[in-house]
Amino acid sequence: MHAHKHVRKRVHVRRRLGVAAVALATTIIATPQAHAAPVARTQTVEAVVAKKSKRHWGRYWGWSRPWHRTPTAVEIVLATARAQLGKPYVYGSAGPNTFDCSGLTMFVWAAAGVALPHNAAAQDGVVRHVGRTQLRPGDLVFFGHRYIGHVGIYIGGGKMIHAPYSGARVRVEPLQSDLAGAGRPSR
């Protein structure tokens, strides 16, 4: 048996013993003794069992997690980007209900505390550029033939989240063939 199964078994046994003790105590208290005065019908008998503190139980059931950590900027960016999926594209919009491509990246990175301009080419100018082989989730990917005209958020596996064009919604798609570069925003 694994260690955590022993702990669960001990906790379960303690609970059953506690319930049995309460039942026994209420039976003894509620049963009139031959030498005791009878209990009036209007009185209620209560047996109180000390409740375990959440701190004690937390070790086993997760109420207190000393190992809990603060999410990284990239985790915040990816979670925020996924939360925007399905929202409509509106040119010049930066959320929270509608987005254009650079408005989406600006909104998502702002959730992680990074300020970006509201223009794909301007965002390309303020990030630290990385090669296609060095792409990591959360990086911005820029598209265009002669100039930067579109930006998305790389999520890994050759895919990105972006607000593609008017009439479309924020969605996940493979990287486009006209990838012009990539960059990593920093604080």
What does the alpha-carbon distance between residue 182 and residue 127 come to, in Å, rounded to a whole number?
8
pLDDT tens by residue, 56-103: 555 555 555 556 788 888 999 999 999 999 999 999 988 899 999 999
pLDDT tens by residue, 141-153: 999 988 999 999 9
Please name the residue ranges forming H helices in the chain.
Answer: 3-30, 54-61, 73-83, 101-111, 120-126
Global confidence as pTM: 0.63
What does the alpha-carbon distance between residue 101 and residue 23 come to, in Å, rounded to a whole number?
65
Instruction: Say if residues 113 and 147 touch (Cβ distance below 8 Å).
Output: no
What does the alpha-carbon distance between residue 78 and residue 110 come to, in Å, rounded to a whole number?
12
Architecture of domain 73-184: Alpha-Beta Complex (3.90)
* 29 vs 99: which has the higher pLDDT: 99
